[in-house]
Structure formats: C-alpha cells, structure tokens
Structure 1
C-alpha cells in the first residue's frame, strides 16, 4: 500500500482527499513496589482518510493499512450523511523545514534505557522515608505522514519519554510524573524525590481553617484548571456556538495585564513541537491572551470555513483513529517572575476533581492534594485536607506572580503561580 495509490484512487471519486498515516513502536515498564512487574514492547500503525465532496466531509480510520480501500469507501459513505460546509479547500504545500522538532535519536525501545531511568527514579526516591507502590517508564518513537490531493506531503518523526512514581508512608501518598521528547530533558531523580517527599511529609498534616488565602498553584494543579475551563473557552467552535465564556470578549482584558498566554509550537521545552498542524496548515506563534487582552481564538479548517474566519493552524490529532479537533501546541503562561513562596500562602501540589469545573462560568470546587503552608521561600506544615473553590477567570485577573522555573505538562508549559484571595474550606 502506498499513499500515492490511495490519492489516485480517491481523486476519481471525491473533490479532495486527505491521508494521515502513522506507525510507531514503544517500550513500557511498570513497577510494583521496586521491581519491574511488566515490561512490554509494542508496535502499531494507523491510517485515517478524510474525503470532501460537495462540501460534505467524510472520515474513516483503520489499523490495517492493507484495508485502505475499505477505509476509503467508508469515508466516502460517511460523508454522504454529513452536513455540507462552505468548504474552501485543503491547504496546499508550503516550504517548511524538514528536520523534526521533537525527535531524539537517543530515545529507543531499549530495555537498558528503561532500567537506567527506573534506577535513577528510585535513587531519587531514597531522599525520604516512603515505600514505592507503583509507577513506570515508557519510551516511544513514531513517524507520521500527512498528504492530500493538492500536492501537500509532509513527513516527520517524534519521540516521547514518560515517567511516573507512586509512594506511600503510613496513610499518606505521593505521586509525581514527567514527560519529555528527549532523554536529557527527562527528570527521573526529580520524579522520585517529589513522590517520596509528598508521601513522607504528608503524614504529619494538620487541618486548615476555612477562610480566604493567598495560594500557590503548582504547574500540575494550574494545568488541571486551565484544561477544564480556560482552554475550551479559546476554541473557535465553542465561541461561535455560545459555549465559551469568551464569546463576546474579544479585545477585552480577561487576565492580569502583566501576563500573556501564548501558543508557541517551536518552543524547545514543549512536547508538541511542529511546523504544521493536524491538517497540514503551517503553524505560528499565537498570543491568545496578550498582556491580559483576549487577542485570538483557535480554529481548525472546518470551523473556520463554517464561520467565515481565517484558519489559525490549531487542528490537533490525539491518535490515528479519527478526525482532528481544535487544540493547542505548546501553551505558555508568561509574566513577571518572583519567589512565589516568599510570603505566607497555601501551596497546592495537585487538585482532585478539576474536570468538574464549569467550563462556561469557570466556577469550581475541588479537593486539595498535597497542600502545604508556605512562607520564607519554602514549604512548611502540610495540610491534611481541604476544598478549594472559586472562579478560574476571576483568579487569572488576580495573579500576584509566577515562578521563574516552569514545567512541561504535555501541551502546556507553566510556572508555579501565586493568586490572592481564594477561598479554602477546611475541617478545623
């Protein structure tokens, strides 16, 4: 089977066709206590065909590339039942760099690399008295092709490393994870030390009184709130269907004016680095929020054509089994930096239940995970439990500052961020 063969067959039947094809292999090693319980090496491939005829879009996918004819037939058939769009065409080829932006030759499905990462992670965990309950390491390499009937043909490779560790000390648990596209950026010692720290120190937690506090959200905690509310509000589809808090706020100040939220697909810290999006559109640096002002929304081709706006190159694919959706590449929160724990506050490592936040209003009420009193530049007394409640959109107007250090959490690059005047419900 060749991509050319599919293109030639499809061009006789439809107005336009797009083909996405990928293959990859991965190694994963799962821990049970301090021993590797399961180790697997896997390979896979996928094919997604999207057709356009008379403005109607059809799509089908398969993990058997030899079944491309059935996949093409299914895509054409599905298009007959779709609503027509004022389709303005698939993107043509552009002169773009060919070297991959997120591929490390050192990342291989090699058991010795996995063992080394696990060893280093467990060494980090020895910093505090706690027991390992689980965790794991994965290493993957994949290649992708996107081609269409306008002559576009792009190919790239990418690699990925992920690490996680769960630990326990009495009834207190700790968890940490990390991911990167290259081995040098992966932090196994950090993962081990952090998981052990939260497990070992959390057992001495005290209750907190209900009240209003300055809080410091870790990058992990902040990412959960942004993913549940802020990021969906930037989707052009949600804006035009009335499901976005930002629907009528273009050009308004929606965040502290010292801060910006920028999507940069070329940032070397990111794991979603690319020169083109999931539909082959060239990507560029986009300021969604520029110094507090709402400046852009995210669009894929279908949504942009439907509502008569310019595509922004924000089509993303989460796998080789369906249509692209609207998303972001490397979303970065930037602004003035400070030591966010110098003054008294409550540090929150993670949040439980952030997915229950209201994406329309931004209201949330979530359980604290890994909370500590903080002052003098460091963490102090751990807090047993508590509920954090408020409104994400209001919080982001009350940022006091963010840390110089950032973490890469898949499509997000975030600092620890300090907010003023947030409600915590305690049991004291």
Structure 2
C-alpha cells in the first residue's frame, strides 16, 4: 500500500523500527424511543496509528486523517524522546498465517433495510410479555484493519458486527437485554426482545428476601462484570510485576475449583473479534490462564514481556484513544462442569449495580442486585424486590458448582450462566 510504504521510507531515516495500523470502518444504526424510531445514523471513519522505537524508547501517535501521516509520525517520534527506555527486543517478523477472516460475514453491510429488519424482529419478541418499550437500538458495522511494520510484516483483515439492545418497563419494573455477533445467523433479536419484556413484566410486585447465605445463579452479564472487575486485571503481567495482582505469587497454585478453567481462545467462532494475530502482529494461540483450577499463565504484550524478561503471549489489543497496544484478551471463556443451573432452588441475578466498585486487589465486593428472582422447580419464580450480595470475587472461583451449556458473548468474553454456592445475600433483617 502506497501510504504505508511512504511512512516506512520516512520512518527508517529517524527511527530504529516503526509500526503502522491503518483502519477503515462504516456503520449504520437506528435508535428506538418508546415504540418508534427516534434517530438513524450512518458513520464512516478512518484512523492511523504510528508507533516508533528509537534506542529502546517507544512513541505512539494517532490521527483520524491518514493523509496527515507526516505530522503523526513527527508526534510519535517526539513522544518517544520523553519515554523511559526498555530492553526492547524488536517488533515481530512476518509469519505464514491463515489470512482468512475469522470474524467476517459479507451479509452484514450498512444497509438501512437490514437494520429495520433487526428492529422489527426485536419489537416482535418484545410482545411476548406485557411491558412497554422505553428505548432500544440496532446497529451494523464493517471494518478493515491493516497492520504493518518495518520488518516486512503486512497483515490485513475485515470484520463485521451486528448488535441489538432493548430496555422495557412495566409499572416500576424494568428489563434490559442485548445481543451481538459478527455472524448474522448467530444474533437473535426475537429472543432479546422476549427476555427484556420478561424481566420487566415478571419483575413487578417483588417480595423482600431475608438476609442469609444462598446458592446464587449469576447470569452471563453478571459473571462477566465480576471477571472484569478483578479476575482479568489480576491476570495482567503488568499488574503482576508491579505488585497490583492478587495472583502475583500464585503461579502453579490452585486458585479456583477443580473443574474451573479460564481460557483465552482467539479462534472460538462465538467471539466478536477473532484473528490469527494480536494487536502487535504476534501469532496468537489458545492460552489456559487457569486450567482445572490451577493458575497456568499471565498475559503479556511485547513491551511488558521485554521489560520483565518474560515470553510474550500475543495478548496485545488496541484500546483507548491513543490506539497503543495494551494487555488484554481475545475470547476469554470460563468453563466448568455443565449442569442445569436452575434445577435446585436458589436466587437468580440478572445484573449488578456497582460491580465496578469491587476492590481489584483484594476482590472484596458488595453490590446491589438488579432483576433478581427466586428459583424453584427449574425456573425463575417470584421476583425479589431488592437486595445486595457481598463476598470476594477470588473466593467465588472456588464456589462455582457448575455452568450452563448455553453461553453468551459479551465483548471479549464468552460466558455461561454460573451457579455458585454459599453467597451472602443482604435483604431484610
């Protein structure tokens, strides 16, 4: 590509190494206000991220106008001058990787008719229970990313994503559900609408619950919030080596129940952004962070691995406004013994309010329940008016009795519904 070649020709005169990420995207969306479409929008965009390395110092700059690449390159070089040097061992060389897109469906295009079809199906599902729509949305997105570096690496891939979400109300009870996928066959607007209407309609006239210890059934949304709050940060190599990880001194030890595994699988077809390479061009692989309860690995990008003399794990992702590589995960799966999580009595929790307030170091949390129900005879029965759960996220890993077969994809997580024994629930005295 001519633009990228020009950048590298200029960069080689003033840097030791350079890396370019060029992105193009287009999306279309429609938003509901009550039962009607309130707004529709179409967006197109481009982005350029340049990273340079000079004498072990790393500089990054980005722009939404790729034609202004000269200013972007100058800014990256300037930022490198102020960076602390690391024991840099080089950007990756090109590899023979499968170039077939792993998260691309050519049926997903910025087509207004397709968005309207998703909205219509969403509203159809919402008619299942007696509740009113307050807001909702459907969107379709297409993107193309090209990653290249001065070693001759040049990878390019396309991606797609469809997403729907709906919020409903019945009396004072609300319900929300969403769904997303890169594959049009795997998104289910009807089910999304049905579940949103269920939680709104059936959540009315909730009963109080007595404070005590209960078996709790956590929805995919809820368990993902707890993973995001403490478990995922504790697996970051950067946090491990800077003393900000609960797992720092526990490599090879049992940190979860015998049947529990936490695996990053970049090739799982349920994932939203599958790819054969990470955000720095490193070939990806399946990483068992926790395997049958034993802590097996931490996550590293190149910079952190080089700084602490560790092996990179191809865990770099592109997030944040700067677009600089950061430690993350691709498709993080939590697995355990498959079971009917509703078979025995318990409390079902659809969502949490305040999960972000959990202490990421200790794992202690105390959060409010959203859309909780009592579970009897294999199904959700009476709604619960209000309540809180408290405990420790790291201890929860030891209390997981089993997981549902069905999973839900939420961002970079693929999670089941999880049954946990002996959680403290705070209700009325």
TM class by shorter chain equals: over 0.9
**Does residue 86 of structure 2 align to residue 85 of structure 1?**
yes
CA RMSD, aligned part only?
Answer: 0.9
Q: Which position in structure 2 is the counterpart of 1:273? A: 274
| Alpha-carbon distance between aligned partners in 2 of 1:182 and 1:352, rounded to the nearest angstrom | 30
Task: Give the alignment of 1:206-225 within 5 angstroms.
Answer: 206-225=207-226
Q: Provide the TM-score with structure 2 as the length reference.
A: 0.99
Contact 2:364 2:393 survives alignment (8 Å): yes
1:314-341 Cα deviation digits (max 9, x unpaired): 0001367421110000000112111111
| Alpha-carbon distance between aligned partners in 2 of 1:174 and 1:194, rounded to the nearest angstrom | 8
1:210-267 Cα deviation digits (max 9, x unpaired): 1100000000000000001000000000000000000000000000011111100000
3-state SS of 1:2 partner: helix
Contact 1:46 1:320 survives alignment (8 Å): no
3-state SS of 2:146 partner: strand
Q: Which position in structure 2 is the counterpart of 1:16? A: 17
Contact 1:170 1:203 survives alignment (8 Å): yes
Contact 1:48 1:320 survives alignment (8 Å): no
Contact 2:262 2:334 survives alignment (8 Å): yes
Contact 2:122 2:192 survives alignment (8 Å): yes
Gaps of 5+ in 1: none
**Does residue 426 of structure 2 align to residue 392 of structure 1?**
no
| Alpha-carbon distance between aligned partners in 2 of 1:415 and 1:402, rounded to the nearest angstrom | 6
| Alpha-carbon distance between aligned partners in 1 of 2:400 and 2:321, rounded to the nearest angstrom | 39
1:398 shift after superposition:
1.1
1:72-99 Cα deviation digits (max 9, x unpaired): 0000000000000000000000000111
Task: Give the alignment of 1:327-406 within 5 angstroms.
Answer: 327-406=328-407
- The count of residues paired between Structure 1 and Structure 2 equals 428
| Alpha-carbon distance between aligned partners in 1 of 2:34 and 2:428, rounded to the nearest angstrom | 33
Contact 1:21 1:320 survives alignment (8 Å): no
3-state SS of 2:128 partner: coil
Q: Which position in structure 2 is the counterpart of 1:33? A: 34
Q: CA 1:351/1:208 → structure 2, altered by over 3 Å: closer, same or farther?
A: same
**Does residue 150 of structure 2 align to residue 149 of structure 1?**
yes
Q: CA 1:187/1:162 → structure 2, altered by over 3 Å: closer, same or farther?
A: same
Contact 1:27 1:139 survives alignment (8 Å): yes
Contact 1:47 1:321 survives alignment (8 Å): no
1:204 shift after superposition:
2.1
Runs of at least 4 residues of structure 1 off by over 4 A?
A: none
| Alpha-carbon distance between aligned partners in 1 of 2:176 and 2:52, rounded to the nearest angstrom | 44
| Alpha-carbon distance between aligned partners in 2 of 1:258 and 1:164, rounded to the nearest angstrom | 33
| Alpha-carbon distance between aligned partners in 2 of 1:321 and 1:160, rounded to the nearest angstrom | 23
1:169 shift after superposition:
0.4
**Does residue 275 of structure 2 align to residue 288 of structure 1?**
no
Gaps of 5+ in 2: none
Contact 2:48 2:66 survives alignment (8 Å): yes
1:127-182 Cα deviation digits (max 9, x unpaired): 00000000101100000000000110000000011110010001111100111111
Contact 2:217 2:346 survives alignment (8 Å): yes
3-state SS of 2:415 partner: strand
| Alpha-carbon distance between aligned partners in 1 of 2:22 and 2:208, rounded to the nearest angstrom | 53
3-state SS of 1:68 partner: helix
Contact 2:255 2:398 survives alignment (8 Å): yes
Contact 1:22 1:320 survives alignment (8 Å): no
Q: Which position in structure 1 is the counterpart of 2:265? A: 264
